[in-house]
Chain A
Amino acid sequence: MKRFKVFSAVMAAIGTVVLLSGITPAQAADTAQKNLILATTTSTQDSGLLDVLIPIFEKKTGYFVKTIAVGSGQAMTMGQKGEADVLLVHSPAAEKQFMADGCGVDRKLIMHNDFIIVGPPADPAGIKGAKSAAKAYKKIAAPGSIYMSRGDNSGTHSKEKAILKAAGINAEGQKWYQQTGLGMGQTLNVSAEKKAYTLADRGTYLAVKKNLGLDILVEGDAILLNIYHVIGVNPAKWPKVNAAGAKAFSDFMVSKEVQDIIKTFGVDKFGSPLFSPDAGKTVESLGK
């Protein structure tokens, strides 16, 4: 009797959840292909670009986009597991591996901006104006400086690893090298508090700059290019993937309308655009 009561209470509770959330299994099946899971890097959300683009896409196509803003690394892991439909990421080396593993289809160049090395205006390591990012890192890698790494396998983190490798620095476990494990915006906040250097994408830096107190110290080196691609998750590998939605999104991102928006996005707020549109170009031609 008692057991029955507990059981019915549990059932009533589950019933309440289903009722109140307005989702019955039949409905869910209907709406499944309307939902599109976009796994992306934090920079596209923190800069506000997706807040502009997604509503246009939804209105045009009728898809409902679930934007999950994580680092590029986690976004690609979601893709590998078939838990996302389409990715917008900026970690070219990892992306190539992703494609080689057969996890992705239809990889398209969307836009680029650049990474910058930012730090306290006092610049204790004296890197300001350095032409080479690797050289700047060599100077930071000395006593007295602090460097904040994202440490989260994001696109920014992989770029940092590439620069460290180019500079021949083994940063792991060094005292000057600290990891936040947070997104770009928060890592910038931490760096500002600790008067530390960090690597940031220009878009996020410009978006959060106003309360920050960190200056751009190094920019313009070719290795600092930050390139965004859109990738569909391979439906042959994961049948539940919304392939039609992914295709629609990637076509949308290279459309003239979106590329024009990207070209001017941020001008009103920051005085200069946050990204340069690159649809139809090749990676090799960028930054020249």
Chain B
Amino acid sequence: MDLIFEGIKQAFFLLLSFDREVIGITWLSLKISGTATFVSLFIGISTGMVVALNDFPGRRLVVSLINTGMGLPPVVVGLFVTIFLWRNGPLGFLEILYTPAAMILAQAIIATPIVTGISLAAIQQLPRNLRLQILALGATRIQMVWILVKEAKLPLLAAVMAGFGGVISEVGASIMVGGNIKGYSRVLTTATVMETSRGNFDIAIALGIILLLLAFVINAILTGIQQRERPR
């Protein structure tokens, strides 16, 4: 119990003293997970849209696969990304293993099915007649898609939060493809694992608290945007 107290004290001390290393690690976490979420939004929302608005053979199978992907274990993603990025592996020529770029790639792979699944559900639950109505009013297909995105804004923002939450808290893939290299690919989660194995529980707890604070701030901002748009 003392340890947790010590950890909380340590967290505030590290934050208030602007500890260079901790600030750097926090900023890197935000940058990597933010970029990965951003990438997953592009791919996830477009894929979700395509699957939601079209009928094609095997559609159910695709939806099941997407839903399964929402629970993709990060370590498995990490393992496959590592094997692909090995310098003697199929994508070795990119030379990005043990770099932040590799971490973004792995995290984007983790977040994409989450965003896809939630977008798919969000678009599907819009009334079917809405689509016909929009088209009847003379909108082009692209305009229609845009209006649908706006209509589904609430659940789509939930998709952003779920995707971001999934990757900022993820450790298995990050440590495998990033290598937890000091000042380069060390993020809040991998640093927490390392400090724990070093027996520095107070610092590990402090890093955990900083991670929670970061997640809270980001989600508070997104929730603010989301709830402003709440239908009354």
Interface of A: prevailing SS = helix
Contact of A185 among B92, B99, B196 (CB under 8 A): B196
Cβ-defined contact, A189 with B196, below 8 A: yes
A53 to B18, CA, bound (A): 25
Interfacial residues of chain B within 48-77, with CB under 8 A of chain A in the complex: 50
Cβ-defined contact, A186 with B196, below 8 A: yes
Interface flag for A208 (CB, 8 Å):
yes
Cβ-defined contact, A23 with B35, below 8 A: no
Nearest to B86 among chain A residues (CB) is: A83
Cβ-defined contact, B35 with A32, below 8 A: no
Nearest to A182 among chain B residues (CB) is: B197
- Smallest Cβ distance from B197 to chain A, in angstroms? 3
Interface flag for A28 (CB, 8 Å):
yes
Residues in A neighbouring B180, C-beta threshold 8 A: 69
Cβ-defined contact, B104 with A17, below 8 A: yes
Given known A-B contacts A17-B104, A17-B108, A66 and B199 have beta carbons under 8 A apart: no
A151 to B39, CA, bound (A): 39
Residues in A neighbouring B100, C-beta threshold 8 A: 21
Residues in A neighbouring B88, C-beta threshold 8 A: 81-83, 238, 240
Cβ-defined contact, B105 with A13, below 8 A: no
A185 to B43, CA, bound (A): 40
Interface flag for B80 (CB, 8 Å):
no
Cβ-defined contact, A212 with B199, below 8 A: yes
Nearest to B202 among chain A residues (CB) is: A211
Category for how many chain B residues contact A: 35 or more
Nearest to A27 among chain B residues (CB) is: B95
Interface flag for B194 (CB, 8 Å):
yes
Contact of A17 among B86, B105, B181 (CB under 8 A): B105
Residues in B neighbouring A32, C-beta threshold 8 A: 95
Interfacial residues of chain A within 142-201, with CB under 8 A of chain B in the complex: 182-186, 188-189
In this complex, how many residues of chain A approach chain B with their Cβ under 8 Å: the count is 48
Interface of B: prevailing SS = helix
Cβ-defined contact, B87 with A82, below 8 A: yes
- Pick from A2-10, A90-98, A99-107, A278-286 the stretch touching chain B: A2-10
Contact of A183 among B38, B105, B182, B197 (CB under 8 A): B197
Interfacial residues of chain A within 50-100, with CB under 8 A of chain B in the complex: 51, 54, 64, 66-69, 81-83
Interfacial residues of chain B within 80-123, with CB under 8 A of chain A in the complex: 86-88, 92-96, 98-101, 104-105, 108
Cβ-defined contact, B39 with A5, below 8 A: no
A207 to B198, CA, bound (A): 7
Residues in B neighbouring A29, C-beta threshold 8 A: 95
- Smallest Cβ distance from A167 to chain B, in angstroms? 28
- Smallest Cβ distance from B87 to chain A, in angstroms? 5
Nearest to A5 among chain B residues (CB) is: B46
Q: List 19 A-B contacts (CB under 8 A).
A: A9-B43, A13-B42, A23-B99, A29-B95, A35-B95, A45-B194, A64-B184, A66-B181, A68-B98, A69-B180, A186-B196, A189-B196, A189-B197, A189-B199, A207-B199, A208-B197, A208-B198, A209-B199, A238-B88
* Chain A residues proximal to chain B, CB less than 8 Å: 2, 5-6, 9-10, 12-13, 16-18, 20-21, 23, 25, 28-29, 32, 35, 37, 42, 45-46, 48, 51, 54, 64, 66-69, 81-83, 182-186, 188-189, 207-212, 238, 240
* Chain B residues proximal to chain A, CB less than 8 Å: 3, 31, 35, 38-39, 42-43, 46-47, 50, 86-88, 92-96, 98-101, 104-105, 108, 179-182, 184, 194, 196-199, 201
